[in-house]
């Protein structure tokens, strides 16, 4: 608990640690001894003491003789073979950045049940439950679970450290272990370079990935080597203002403080706080430091057009000047994906999508056909899986816009396809992209016939999976 980076996830640590202990087969005498040890650890107040009190309550309310093997409700299907090492990082990114949000939505909307243990709606615990369900449903092998603990996989570009902490709690529980491996502090990635800084953001971004931690008299520092020529550029200025901010894998942000010249020139970064995603509003938010401050913000303000960080793409909502610091308030826009592998064989991840996805798409297809046949939206509105209802409405709207085998107008059809794309975005990596076959044949014919309108053609291909490949004139001529 004392080593926890993100304190709001302490209930997750306590809950999964206790479940691991309980499943190992503690008898009543051992549980009573554990209760006493936890009581002695409650020496101070605050959040940590409150979690320990919850743990004591659970121990006293729980019968002895823990379960062994798989827990009740977990499938007895055989585990999948271990993923190739090259695919572990991709699988982890999909699990946390695409599948997890959809699973959390399902838990919150339809399936989350209070069980008396930390049942106060704590978001971190819900995230832990969602990760556990995904790993169990995927029948992840023990070897793959071990690989998910490898710190060499991680980068703050792709992963939110708080999610990794929770993932590690769940993985250790599934492995039946309680020893927590050290959380990696590195690597680090560049957040931003101020417009007036002489640093080249691309070159400095590469240098940050090779930075290292140093214990100094005033505390920990992060050193980033730079070339002598870059050091000379920094010194050839009236005011030495480096203007750069980075974030390390342990979630800390670091501000460029000074240039240190020696046999190896380095930029010295000093630590700030932790980057924390705020899930309290409809869209996730993130507050990040901006490496530029002005006495007065007037005239043109040059800011980055987008931020890709912590596995997410962000847009700027507002900026804030607080003393000597400037902060940007970001709003979640989309999940970012790792570059696609050169072939499906190299991927090895897509096949791990739950088989339940095909069942959900088939059920939604039936509801859509029923709504069109009955000329009422009731089959969609009464659909069992409520998280798919908004998408069902969008698909029904698209079908209505192409009624009669021809579009009302291309702009209307384009807006309806855009609606389908929007409502399917959060479900994409859990259920996969919307299958082309889910649309009735007359709708598919209309969309294919409108391919001369290139903007709609691109949008359809980006929204649906399995759209027939378009035959170009050059290919037709070559075939003839």
More confident residue, 300 or 121: 300
On whether the CB atoms of residues 70 and 140 are closer than 8 A, the answer is no
According to the model, what pLDDT value does residue 275 have? Answer: 95
The mean pLDDT value for 389-406 works out to 85
Kindly tell me if the per-residue pLDDT of 410 is higher than 50. yes
Longest Cα pair distance anywhere in the chain, in angstroms? Answer: 84
Picking from 401, 419, 430, the residue whose alpha carbon sits closest to that of residue 460 is: 419
Q: Among 51-65, 207-221, 311-325, 430-444, which is the least confidently predicted range?
A: 51-65
Cis peptide before 474 (omega within 30 of 0): no
Highest mean pLDDT among 66-70, 170-174, 317-321: 170-174
More confident residue, 479 or 225: 225
More confident residue, 247 or 111: 247
Kindly tell me if the per-residue pLDDT of 343 is higher than 70. no
Mean pLDDT in the chain?
80
Picking from 304, 185, 197, 303, the residue whose alpha carbon sits closest to that of residue 248 is: 185
Give 290's strand partners: 326
Kindly tell me if the per-residue pLDDT of 14 is higher than 80. yes
Q: Rounded to 5 degrees, what are φ and ψ at 472? A: -85, 165
Query: The tokens 């190992």 sit on which residue?
Result: 24
Q: Among 102-106, 306-310, 415-419, which is the least confidently predicted range?
A: 102-106
The mean pLDDT value for 79-102 works out to 79
Query: The tokens 């509105």 sit on which residue?
Result: 381
Picking from 355, 383, 30, 336, the residue whose alpha carbon sits closest to that of residue 156 is: 336
The mean pLDDT value for 383-412 works out to 82
Kindly tell me if the per-residue pLDDT of 268 is higher than 70. yes
Of the pLDDT bands very low, low, confident and very high (cuts 50, 70, 90), residue 476 is: very low
Query: The tokens 């460029």 sit on which residue?
Result: 256
What is the tens place of the pLDDT at every residue in 294-313?
655 555 555 566 789 999 99
Distance in Å from the first CA to the final CA of the chain: 71
According to the model, what pLDDT value does residue 78 have? Answer: 47
What is the tens place of the pLDDT at every residue in 170-184?
999 999 998 888 899
The mean pLDDT value for 127-135 works out to 91
Kindly tell me if the per-residue pLDDT of 118 is higher than 50. no
Of the pLDDT bands very low, low, confident and very high (cuts 50, 70, 90), residue 80 is: low
On whether the CB atoms of residues 206 and 217 are closer than 8 A, the answer is no
Of the pLDDT bands very low, low, confident and very high (cuts 50, 70, 90), residue 47 is: confident
According to the model, what pLDDT value does residue 480 have? Answer: 35
On whether the CB atoms of residues 97 and 158 are closer than 8 A, the answer is yes
Q: Mind spelling out the 3-state secondary structure of the chain?
A: CCCCCCHHHHHHHHHHHHHHHHHCCCCHHHHHHHHHHHHHHCCCCCHHHHHHHHHHHHHHHCCCCCCCCCCCCCCCCCCCCCCCHHHHHHHHHHHHHHHHHHHHHHHHHHHCCCCCCCCCCCHHHHHHHHHHHHHHHCCCCHHHHHHHCCHHHCCCCCCCHHHHHHHHHHHHHHHCCCCCCCCCCCCEEEEEECCCCCCCHHHHHHHHCCCEEEEECCEEEEEEECCHHHHHHHHCCCCCCCCEEEEECCCEEEEEEEEECCCCCEEEEEEEEECCEECCCCCCEEEEEECCCCCCCCCCCCCCCCEEECCEEEEEEEEEEECCEEEEEEEEEEECCCCCCCCHHHHCCHHHCCCHHHHHHHHHHHHHHHHHHHCCCHHHHCCCCHHHHHHHHHHHHHHHHCHHHCCCCHHHHHHHHHHHHHHHCCCHHHHCCEEHHHCCHHHHHHHHHCCCCHHHHHHHHHHEECCCCCCCHHHHHHHC
Percentage above 90 pLDDT, the chain: 24
């Amino acid at each position: 608990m004392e080593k926890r980076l993100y304190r709001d996830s302490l209930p997750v640590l306590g809950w999964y640690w206790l479940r691991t202990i309980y499943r190992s087969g503690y008898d009543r005498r051992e549980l009573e001894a554990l209760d006493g040890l936890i009581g002695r650890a409650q020496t101070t107040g605050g959040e940590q003491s409150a979690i320990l009190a919850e743990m004591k309550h659970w121990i006293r309310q729980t019968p002895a003789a823990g379960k062994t093997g798989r827990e009740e409700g977990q499938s007895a299907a055989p585990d999948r073979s271990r993923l190739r090492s090259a695919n572990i990082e991709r699988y982890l990114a999909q699990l946390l950045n695409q599948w997890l949000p959809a699973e959390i939505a399902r838990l919150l909307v339809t399936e989350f049940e209070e069980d008396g243990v930390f049942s106060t709606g704590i978001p971190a615990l819900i995230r832990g439950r969602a990760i556990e369900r995904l790993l169990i449903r995927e029948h992840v092998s023990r070897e793959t679970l071990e690989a998910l603990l490898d710190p060499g996989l991680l980068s703050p570009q792709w992963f939110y450290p708080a999610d990794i902490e929770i993932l590690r709690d769940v993985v250790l529980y599934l492995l039946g272990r309680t020893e927590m491996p050290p959380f990696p502090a590195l690597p680090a990635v560049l957040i931003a370079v101020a417009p007036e800084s002489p640093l080249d953001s691309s070159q400095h971004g590469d240098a940050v990935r090779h930075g290292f931690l140093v214990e100094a008299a005033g505390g920990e520092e992060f050193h980033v080597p730079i070339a002598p020529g870059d050091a000379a550029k920094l010194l050839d200025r009236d005011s030495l203002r480096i203007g750069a901010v980075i974030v390390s894998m342990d979630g800390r942000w670091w501000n460029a403080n000074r240039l240190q010249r020696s046999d190896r020139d380095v930029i010295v970064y000093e630590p700030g706080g932790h980057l924390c995603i705020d899930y309290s509003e409809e869209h996730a938010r993130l507050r990040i430091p901006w490496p530029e401050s002005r006495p007065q913000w007037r005239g043109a303000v040059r800011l980055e057009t987008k931020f890709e960080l912590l596995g997410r793409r962000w847009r700027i909502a507002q900026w804030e000047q607080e003393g000597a610091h400037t902060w940007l308030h970001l709003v979640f826009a989309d999940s970012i994906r790792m570059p696609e592998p050169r072939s499906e064989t190299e991927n090895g991840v897509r096949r791990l999508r739950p088989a339940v996805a095909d069942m959900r798409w088939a059920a939604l297809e039936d509801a859509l056909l029923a709504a069109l046949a009955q000329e009422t939206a009731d089959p969609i509105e009464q659909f069992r899986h409520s998280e798919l209802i908004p998408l069902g409405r969008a698909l029904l709207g698209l079908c209505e816009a192409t009624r009669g085998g021809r579009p009302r107008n291309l702009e209307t059809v384009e807006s309806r396809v855009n609606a389908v794309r929007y409502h399917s975005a959060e479900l994409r990596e859990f259920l996969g992209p919307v299958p082309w076959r889910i649309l009735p044949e007359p709708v598919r014919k209309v969309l294919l016939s409108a391919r001369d309108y290139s903007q709609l053609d691109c949008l359809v291909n980006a929204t649906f999976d399995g759209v027939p490949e378009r035959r170009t004139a050059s290919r037709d001529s070559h075939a003839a």
